[in-house]
Chains A and B, each alone.
Chain A
Amino acid sequence: MEVEIYRLVFAFIVGYFLTVSGSLTQLVTSNSLASPSTLGMDGFAVIFILIAQVLINFTDIEISLAYLSFALFLIFFIPLCLYKTKSRKNLWDLLHLKNIILLGLAFNLFIGALFSIIQFLFMAFNFEFPTGLWFGNFKQYSPNSLWGGGLIFVCVVFAIKHLAHKIHFLNLGSEFALGNNIDVIRLQRQSLLLSLFLTGVTISFFGVFSFFGLILPHIIRNIPLFSCDMKKELIWGPLLGGASLTLTDQACYFVNVQGVEFPVGMISSVLGALVLIFLLVQSKINRV
């Protein structure tokens, strides 16, 4: 067995993306339990994998599942970016209240219900189910898409550098930020869209990594090196996320059961859930 360099790089980038999106959602909703999975972003992206699988089964499209689902994701994501609601007051009420978690959970439940219907239809039609993407893994990757990943990585770092100062205000409280001439609604919108995009990219290409985006921001916030400085927390902190996903992935690669490799998403979910319980018991997390 040898270390696959591409696999290392992809795991690192994905870990970075997930941590960034987790941090952003928590900071802009001032809610320590917000994350792409609790806000239903995971579910949103998974739906497109299923649609892509249906399309591939019904038609003879010569395109890989990952690219097709990402394309479908973009078709929905771009109008979402362009859509602007007229009533700022309503949007403010929605975002600055801690309602957003409930909204996310409701959306997640809806996706779950939709999901079981689709699963039923897959069984009824005897289609091949894309189980490989349930739990994230880096078994399949195309070296060519590294360029895309690298480009997004650079853009993300620049975007965060631009947003960090404003997020510093928002971290102190949305009312406070609004009073200090920060367009909170726009900032929340931009940040949530950025984390939705990163979640979409990750899930389309590598599958679901639950809990990762929820836990890593808390760990980073408890490390003195990164905490209390928004730029460090958002730019340097996620490097730790990248490193830990890479290590977990390598552990899965080398330690296999009966010759079958564990999907890293499965292991990271278990680890993440345990760490969350530990942090809550230790009161390291600000309760909502």
Chain B
Amino acid sequence: MLSNNIAVLVKINKFYVDNREVQGELSLLPGRLTLLRGENGVGKSSLVLYLKLNQRQVFSKLVPRFIDQVRLSPLNDVSFEQILGQLSTDKAQDQTLFTKWEFLVKEFRHKPIKSLSGGQNQMVKILISLYLGGDIFIFDEPLQYLDGTNKSKIVMLLEDLKSTGKGVLLIEHNDELVKAIVDTTVNLSFSGKLEVV
């Protein structure tokens, strides 16, 4: 089902951050982790939004999963377990990674999402994306809200994603924490250029 030989070259034709034009190329390869770096306000999250809004053109047949910064905020009291229950009609993908990391949400899988803390909410988001599966995972600051132990667990999870042949794009400011797993670093500058460092 998943081809391990497909490389995606994400070409950013043109998008704007505060009227500044951003252009360039990003290559996301299977089993490789690309770190996107840049100062605050340079347009990293806007780039993620651009990718989300244009996912059909950018990724064509590959399935991207986005784990962004915004918290899950359902109107009802739905819990993690109930969310999965409603997704179970989908053709489930390879669940090995999900079962391996499911323990992260063990304590609160029956609690309403809206009562969870920021870090718990973050882990629920990551776990749902693992459950749904995909070819390319795009994480926008996945370590935010997390405590020390969970931060290192999520870094291990990212490594696992890499080793199962998924392409990973990561936006993260904690360079030290993720240093070991990064394959390519791409810098986004205020002039609007994407450059491989």
Contacts and interface: CB of A to CB of B under 8 A. Distances in A.
Interface of A: 26-27, 30, 32, 88-89, 92, 165, 168, 171-173, 175-176, 178-181, 221, 227-231, 233, 286
24 contacts: A30-B75, A92-B49, A165-B86, A171-B74, A171-B76, A172-B73, A172-B83, A172-B113, A173-B73, A175-B52, A176-B72, A178-B52, A178-B66, A179-B52, A179-B65, A179-B67, A179-B68, A180-B132, A227-B77, A228-B76, A228-B77, A228-B82, A286-B73, A286-B75
Interface of B: 49, 52-53, 55, 63-68, 70-79, 82-83, 85-87, 89, 113-114, 125, 129, 132, 138
Nearest to B52: A178
Greatest chain A CB density within 10 A among B52, B75, B86 is at: B75
Given A180-B132, A181-B55, A286-B114, A27 B66 contact: no
A175 B113 contact: no
Contacts of A175: 52, 66, 68, 70
B86 A178 contact: no
Contacts of A228: 76-79, 82
Q: Can you list the 6 inter-chain pairs with the closest CB atoms, starting with the nearest?
A: A179-B66, A175-B70, A228-B78, A172-B72, A228-B82, A171-B74
Greatest chain B CB density within 10 A among A88, A178, A228 is at: A228
A268 B111 CA distance: 34
B26 to A, nearest CB: 17
A168 B73 CA distance: 12
Given A168-B87, A229-B85, 19 more contacts: A27-B75, A30-B75, A89-B53, A165-B86, A168-B86, A171-B74, A172-B72, A172-B74, A178-B53, A178-B66, A179-B64, A179-B65, A179-B68, A181-B63, A221-B77, A227-B76, A227-B78, A228-B82, A286-B75
Contact of A180 (B66, B74, B113): B66
Contacts of B53: 88-89, 92, 178
A168 B83 CA distance: 8
A92 B48 CA distance: 14
